[in-house]
Each structure stands twice: as structure tokens, then as C-alpha cells.
């Protein structure tokens, strides 16, 4: 007998994996297994999208913000870029979604940075409406957003 997935998701997942490993497909909780697999795929995509948004927020700071913000933003940029590259290495199928969402993610990043700068009293020039970088440029470790 297996644990109900609503009671202990971790134990349920381990039991489902054991059933798969032993070929006991008839004992699988198929409906919930399918739901959890879909949720996992969505989580992977959402995590990559969040990393892209934070990377863009830092890129805004580096390219358009005050130099005082650059040190922290550069560290966060490298970290988020690496997370994105790791995600793409594990799940290359998420690249088209990141590409499709790039402009919308750019606009959100601009909104966030504009609000943060206004709250901090830091001037921020008018930002481009269109994302000034391609996904490939954003992922390129050689890309230095602060270099003008």
C-alpha cells in the first residue's frame, strides 16, 4: 500500500519511484503521478522565468542605474545567469518559453526597478520599451551590462 500524496508528498513520490523501478505499473497512482509531473514541469519553467526576471532587473541596474548599485547587481547577475544556464542544461525545452516571454519579463523588470529606484530616491533614466538584449546575450557570461 502506498501513502496518499496529500498526506506526505515526499514519501508518496519515493513509493511511486520504487513502483516504477520494480515495474509494478499497475500499482501506480497514475492520476496523481501525472498531475505531479505536470506541476514539476511548470515549476521548472517558473523558476527559470524568475531567474530571467531577476537577471533583467540587475541588468537594468548595471546598464542604466547608479554606479553605487553595480557591485551587488553584478554578483546577482552572475548567480542568476548561472542558474539559468544550469536550468537550460537540464531542460533545454524551456528555452522557447523564455524567448517568448522575454519582452514581457523585460517590462516587469523595468517596472520593479523603476519602483525600487523611486523609493530609494535614485534617479533612473527612461528605459527602452523593447528589451535591448537577446536571450543569448543575457546568458553570455562575457556580457557586461554596465560597460557603456
- The answer to whether 84 and 48 have CB atoms below 8 angstroms apart is yes
Q: How many CB atoms lie within 10 A of CB 141?
A: 10
**Mean pLDDT, residues 115-132:** 89
Distances (CA, A) of 128 to 41, 112, 133: 32, 14, 11
This prediction has a pTM of: 0.84
Distances (CA, A) of 124 to 56, 61, 127: 15, 9, 8
pLDDT tens-digit series, residues 37-84: 999 999 999 999 999 999 999 999 888 877 767 778 888 999 999 999
CA distance 117 to 105: 18
**Mean pLDDT, residues 7-30:** 94
Least confident piece of the model among 96-105, 109-118, 129-138: 109-118
Amino acid at each position: 500500500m502506498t501513502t496518499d500524496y496529500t498526506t506526505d508528498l515526499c514519501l508518496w513520490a519515493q513509493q511511486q519511484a520504487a513502483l516504477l523501478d520494480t515495474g509494478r505499473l499497475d500499482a501506480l497512482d497514475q492520476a496523481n503521478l501525472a498531475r505531479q509531473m505536470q506541476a514539476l514541469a511548470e515549476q521548472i519553467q517558473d523558476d527559470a522565468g524568475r531567474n530571467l526576471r531577476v537577471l533583467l532587473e540587475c541588468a537594468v541596474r548595471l546598464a542604466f542605474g547608479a554606479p553605487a548599485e553595480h557591485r551587488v547587481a553584478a554578483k546577482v547577475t552572475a548567480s542568476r545567469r548561472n542558474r539559468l544556464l544550469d536550468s537550460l542544461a537540464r531542460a533545454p525545452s524551456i528555452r522557447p518559453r523564455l524567448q517568448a516571454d522575454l519582452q514581457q519579463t523585460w517590462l516587469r523588470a523595468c517596472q520593479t526597478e523603476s519602483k525600487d529606484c523611486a523609493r530609494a530616491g535614485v534617479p533612473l533614466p527612461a528605459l527602452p520599451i523593447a528589451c535591448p538584449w537577446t536571450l543569448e546575450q543575457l546568458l553570455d557570461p562575457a556580457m557586461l551590462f554596465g560597460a557603456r
